[in-house]
């Protein structure tokens, strides 16, 4: 249906002479609409995709935010302007905007994908008139020349929605969810979603806000902004939509070889010798290990960004010994700067720190009075990288753990913090992207390829800066573990293919407790089939402190190596490390696909089996690459599990070799040392 047919289908209604009509214009290969103070621009942005911007400012600001990649100029874009509506068509997607500015999106089959929610007596295309007078795009003026923005869309109650980043809840399908568009410890707002109706949608606005995927209306809000900005794409499959999104916002580098195996970590190794002895013990036991981690407070003060020589007297020798063992060292970096740091006064004088709108200039109280450095300021990024390069990178450190990346505040008063690019409430969700960019740009300039750094948060586009995201400081419990399955899969759909958890959870695991041993084993099994396999946690009981000066004031948890929980646990964990090692060629291939196409390494069943309606309903299983189906055990004392096998291929139980037809549910044995895993397409997993 073209714009002329669309108008003809309005029936006998014709506006009278007092009917209000906006103005349409075609220019710059875009469709423009204006009425009164509002300006709307709809333009092609990659294949089968459109970008929509609107403002009531005198001109549209030029920020592209997540849409900073140079996308291919699509061929065959068509724009048509009628008497009462206009349309723009780009491949498989078409947008129609009517005389009062309501926008509707259709695919190439003329099926409605999404349309704005507008209730207005003057909507000549509505099936019924309405006296509610609800705007689809509501710009509510705020002091300072900005707006509280609300964008409303009609809701299909049967629609299923996936993506949006990482939230600590069990729901994979987000239909009906109310989500805060803001970052917190263990919450990462990455506002891209895939709909079961066949479209992907990016809310391209880093302002703090909310989205509610209601049964009656979908509502997006930005608490403080100058414009509406979103990107929408149509596709015949989730993979087509995901790949279009990756082209628009960026793809990760190729994962280096040391990202494919097992990473050892705990809170926290207190001395150089303690860390080295752990690494040596792994080698003595002939257990494969790729990375070991120096966690936080290995420094004298936050913001010094260097080893405390009291406890780490010869980092050059330590790094050299680790490299000789074939182990990479990852070092924790925090963005906080203590008032007593050797760098504080210079950074303050040069304007490299974040600010507060009122009160004392302190945003965190953990282990000192601190303020964050401001990565939205290019000069601050250069300054911090200069310290990092001198004190870590030039010594041989090639992986950084960029903790506190939300950033984390003592009080989440988003309106009180201000960055170089603007108030936190207006642009704050960009912080983890710029934090990752600080290190990515520095490492690339130093000649590195295959850059990977671990962050506790992300926003749209973080992946192109080598961000490996983990799910934050979560509880050590089965309910918490279950939440991580939804979190990881929705992060994957949101475009973050590198993701991991603290195996065993972070808070609350007592190394002496058999119940925790069971949880640790189940989580370790699950972690074997995550993009990165990393053991971490704050284990009880506390350990005696090595000294009282500098970072030694921070406590340390109990040992967290695989032999720390007894021989029975160690035997199971070692087996899974070896399973992961045997999968190295397979994992490498999935990382290559993520690098080249943006393909998630782990993904919901529907990603690979979109024609199987049953696959869209499964929330406790996932695909690890195209050939491995994983069904983690997430209940204590559970020794059997019902597993849905999608229609299409034949499925082989990796433990027993039994073959099943797809499209059915099977009940399989799941003793403590066995995670239900099935393979397809002839792939053989070295698991028995």
CA–CA gap between residue 519 and residue 186 (Å, rounded): 20
For the question of residue 620 being annotated catalytic, the response is no
For the question of residue 290 being annotated catalytic, the response is no
Q: Are the C-beta atoms of 51 and 71 separated by less than 8 Å?
A: no
Beta strands at 262-264 and 291-294: parallel, antiparallel or unpaired:
parallel
Q: Are the C-beta atoms of 564 and 264 separated by less than 8 Å?
A: no
For the question of residue 673 being annotated catalytic, the response is no
Which of 47, 221, 338, 406 is flagged as catalytic?
Answer: 406
Which of 473, 612, 620, 653 is flagged as catalytic?
Answer: 473
CA–CA gap between residue 86 and residue 682 (Å, rounded): 51
Nearest to 558, CA basis, from 516, 587, 592: 516
Name the β-bridge partners of 417. 356
Q: Are the C-beta atoms of 7 and 18 separated by less than 8 Å?
A: no
Paired tokens of 555: 């406590």
CA–CA gap between residue 48 and residue 200 (Å, rounded): 11
Paired tokens of 60: 């549209």
Q: Are the C-beta atoms of 602 and 623 separated by less than 8 Å?
A: yes
Which of 229, 403, 561, 608 is flagged as catalytic?
Answer: 403
CA–CA gap between residue 455 and residue 459 (Å, rounded): 11
Beta strands at 399-402 and 453-455: parallel, antiparallel or unpaired:
parallel
CA–CA gap between residue 506 and residue 534 (Å, rounded): 12
DSSP string for 156-205: -TT--EEEEEE-SSS-SS-TT-EEEES-BTTBEEEEEEEETTTEEEEE--
Q: Is the dihedral of CA 378, 380, 384, 386 positive or negative?
A: positive
Q: Are the C-beta atoms of 410 and 417 separated by less than 8 Å?
A: no
- Which residues are identified as catalytic? 403, 406, 473
């Amino acid at each position: 249906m073209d714009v002329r047919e669309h108008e003809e289908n309005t029936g006998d209604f014709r506006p009278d002479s007092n009917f209000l009509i906006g103005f349409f214009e075609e220019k710059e290969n875009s469709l423009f609409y204006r009425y009164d103070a509002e300006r709307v621009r709809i333009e092609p942005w990659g294949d089968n995709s459109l970008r929509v911007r609107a403002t009531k400012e005198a001109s549209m600001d030029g920020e592209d935010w997540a849409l900073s990649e140079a996308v291919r100029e699509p061929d065959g874009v068509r724009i048509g302007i009628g008497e009462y509506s206009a349309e723009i068509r780009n491949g498989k997607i078409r947008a129609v905007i009517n005389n009062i500015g309501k926008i509707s999106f259709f695919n190439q089959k003329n099926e409605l994908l999404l349309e704005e929610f507008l209730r207005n007596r003057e909507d000549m295309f509505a099936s019924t008139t309405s006296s509610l007078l609800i705007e689809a795009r509501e710009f509510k003026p705020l002091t300072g020349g900005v707006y509280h923005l609300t964008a409303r869309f009609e809701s299909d109650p049967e629609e299923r929605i996936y993506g949006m980043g990482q939230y600590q809840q069990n729901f994979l399908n987000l239909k009906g969810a109310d989500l805060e568009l803001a970052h917190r410890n263990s919450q990462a707002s990455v506002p891209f979603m895939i709909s079961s109706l066949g479209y992907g949608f990016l809310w391209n606005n880093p302002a703090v806000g909310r989205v509610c995927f209601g049964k009656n209306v979908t509502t997006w809000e930005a608490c403080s902004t100058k414009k509406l900005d979103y990107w929408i794409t149509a596709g015949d499959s989730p993979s087509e939509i995901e790949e279009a999104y990756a082209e628009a916002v960026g793809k990760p580098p190729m994962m280096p070889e040391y990202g494919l195996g097992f990473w050892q970590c705990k809170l926290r190794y207190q001395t150089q010798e303690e860390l080295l002895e752990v690494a040596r013990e792994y080698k003595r036991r002939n257990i494969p290990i790729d990375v070991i981690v120096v966690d936080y407070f290995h420094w004298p003060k936050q913001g010094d960004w260097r080893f405390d020589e009291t406890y780490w007297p010869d980092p050059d020798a330590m790094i050299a010994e680790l490299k000789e063992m074939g182990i990479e060292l990852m070092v924790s970096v925090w963005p906080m700067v203590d008032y007593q740091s050797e760098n504080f006064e210079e950074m303050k004088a040069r304007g490299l720190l974040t600010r507060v709108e009122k009160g004392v200039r302190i945003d965190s109280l953990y282990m000192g009075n601190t303020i964050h450095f401001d990565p939205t300021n290019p000069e601050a990024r250069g300054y911090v990288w200069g310290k990092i390069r001198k004190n870590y990178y030039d010594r041989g450190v090639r992986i950084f753990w960029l903790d506190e990346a939300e950033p984390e505040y003592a009080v989440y008063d988003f309106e009180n913090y201000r960055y170089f690019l603007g108030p936190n409430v207006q642009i704050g969700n960009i912080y983890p992207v710029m934090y990752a960019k600080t290190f990515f740009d520095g490492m690339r300039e130093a000649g590195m390829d295959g850059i990977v750094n671990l962050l506790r948060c992300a926003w749209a586009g973080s992946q192109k800066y080598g961000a490996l995201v983990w799910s934050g400081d979560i509880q050590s419990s089965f309910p918490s573990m279950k939440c991580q399955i939804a979190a990881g899969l929705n992060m994957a759909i949101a475009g973050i293919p590198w993701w991991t958890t603290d195996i065993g959870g972070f808070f609350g695991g007592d190394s002496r407790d058999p119940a925790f041993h069971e949880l640790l084993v189940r989580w370790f099994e699950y972690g074997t089939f995550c993009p990165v396999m990393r053991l971490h946690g704050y284990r009880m009981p506390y350990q005696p402190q090595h000294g009282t000066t500098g970072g030694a004031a921070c406590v340390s948890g109990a040992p967290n190596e695989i032999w720390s929980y007894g021989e029975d646990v160690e035997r199971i964990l070692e087996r899974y490390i070896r399973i992961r090692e045997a999968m190295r060629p397979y994992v490498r291939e999935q990382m290559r696909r993520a690098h080249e196409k943006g393909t998630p390494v782990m993904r919901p069943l529907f990603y690979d089996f979109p024609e199987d309606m049953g696959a869209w309903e499964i929330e406790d299983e996932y695909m690890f690459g195209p050939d491995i189906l994983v069904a983690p055990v997430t209940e204590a004392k559970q020794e059997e599990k019902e597993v849905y096998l999608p229609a299409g291929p034949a499925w082989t139980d990796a433990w027993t070799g039994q073959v099943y037809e797809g499209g059915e549910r099977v009940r399989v044995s799941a003793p403590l040392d066995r995670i239900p895993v099935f393979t397809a397409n002839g792939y053989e997993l070295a698991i028995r």
